[in-house]
Structure 1
């Protein structure tokens, strides 16, 4: 089978009309008809039901199309990977990261790298920590920027920087005027938090446990911006990154620094244990690692 003929088959399956498909493909109608006949002879069954001037995929054709679409996609992906091995400045990188990093860390990294390799393109996917880690493990993501460090030996982790955490309280809260506060002072508070799969939630839970209590969580959400808005509405307090932008709350939420030694989350980049296989990814990976304020663990 020729790749070209498989592509013609997909086009005909979409149009269900030989004449229109041939015009779209800029080939003669008999040429297309002969190609489909060769495919049907090869697989041993008709792929279309003929209905007057139209064709409709039958059950064999539906199965064949599903596999053909995947085959064409795999070949396209292979060509792209080979191209990136030849030229590390071109190609696409699938980069996963925590949602909150999309407001400050990721834009800075990409802006700096675009000055070095403007031909590189990115697929950006903000998600929870577990989803980012799973994406790199399963090959859906080339690299991930996340916190905390993932468990297991199948990923390579490079810490980049420590991000301080603070307590966000509603304006008028008893702690709003404090210059700083320890987590041990918060045992009686109603907490607002991200869901357990988020790295920030895991760090906040650890801080409370180290302070000798389990946080009383009254609401969970999936967005840091929502978490800040809930605090501003007076629904509870929350542990959030100090680097976050609370300006949208117009003074209705007040950040108070935390004094606990562990009141930070370490931001790191993750890659497969063997390193990125594609040159375009490897080059960006080394660029991100070069921005680290610490050495690889």
Structure 2
């Protein structure tokens, strides 16, 4: 059984049209038909129902397609990994990160790395902190940019830099004219916050607990941009990163004077080590940026 025959079968299973698939795969119709008959002879059952020169994938074909697609994907992954071993600049890095890092940190890192390894490709996946951590743990991601530091000894963590946090309040709020504020002064305020799976929410909850209260969260969101817009609309106050918060028109940034009012940006990788040289090279570059920024 050849990999190209599996690829032909997968294409035919999708389109169910011999002429179309033969043209797209650049093979003759007789060659395609013979390949499908060989596959059916090997598995011992028809994979397609044939009605007046039309094909329809049957239940046996559905089972075979699921396994064929996995086999094709495994072969392609093997080819990519071998290519990376030969040339660590030409592979693909699966990089996960918090959504908010996609507006500044990720572009900064990729722009700096491009001059070193212009042929490296990236799969970029912005998500909540818990999802980024799970992605690295289960191998869907090579490395992740997240905060706070995840719990567990199955991940390596390298802190990169400190990102100060601030309080965002609506224009006209009682604290809008203040230069700084302590979180303990906000015990009676309505908060707008990210959902609990997000790292920023977890940090906010810890800071408020250290200040002696549990924040009264009136509105939850999955995006910082929505959070800031809710504050501008007067729906509450929010603890947000200083990055991207200084140019708001309908809200005012107030500094937080509480100790530890910052989130540490870090990179996580499996404790067992990275799987590809291309990911290791990018990790080395990311970690090299920490010396200038995390001080």
- 1:95 aligned partner: 95
Contact 1:159–1:295 (Cα < 8 Å) also in 2:
no
- 1:177 aligned partner: 177
- 1:64 aligned partner: 64
CA distance in 1, matches of 2:145, 2:40: 48
TM-superposed deviation, 1:223: 0.6
When residues 7 and 210 of structure 1 are mapped into structure 2, their CA distance, relative to the original with a 3 A threshold, is same
CA distance in 1, matches of 2:15, 2:155: 45
TM-superposed deviation, 1:243: 1.5
- 1:229 aligned partner: 229
Contact 1:147–1:200 (Cα < 8 Å) also in 2:
yes
CA distance in 2, matches of 1:172, 1:18: 68
1:256 matches 2:254: yes
The gaps in structure 2 that reach 5 residues or longer are none
TM-superposed deviation, 1:23: 3.4
- 2:138 aligned partner: 138
TM-superposed deviation, 1:294: 8.5
SS in 2 for 1:38: helix
TM-superposed deviation, 1:13: 2.3
Count how many residue pairs are aligned between Structure 1 and Structure 2. 294
1:240 matches 2:205: no
Contact 2:161–2:293 (Cα < 8 Å) also in 1:
no
CA distance in 1, matches of 2:17, 2:239: 60
- TM-score, structure 1 as length reference: 0.95
TM-superposed deviation, 1:295: 11
Q: Which runs of 4+ in 1 moved over 6 A?
A: none
SS in 2 for 1:116: coil
CA distance in 2, matches of 1:93, 1:163: 25
TM-superposed deviation, 1:244: 2.1
- 1:78 aligned partner: 78
CA distance in 2, matches of 1:19, 1:102: 44
SS in 1 for 2:126: strand
CA distance in 1, matches of 2:232, 2:293: 38
The gaps in structure 1 that reach 5 residues or longer are none
Deviation string for 1:65-110 (max 9, x for gaps)?
A: 1111111111111101111111111111111111111111111011
1:48 matches 2:38: no
Q: How does 1:208-227 map to 2 (within 5 A)?
A: 208-227=208-227
CA distance in 1, matches of 2:234, 2:198: 23
- 1:272 aligned partner: 270
Contact 1:228–1:246 (Cα < 8 Å) also in 2:
no
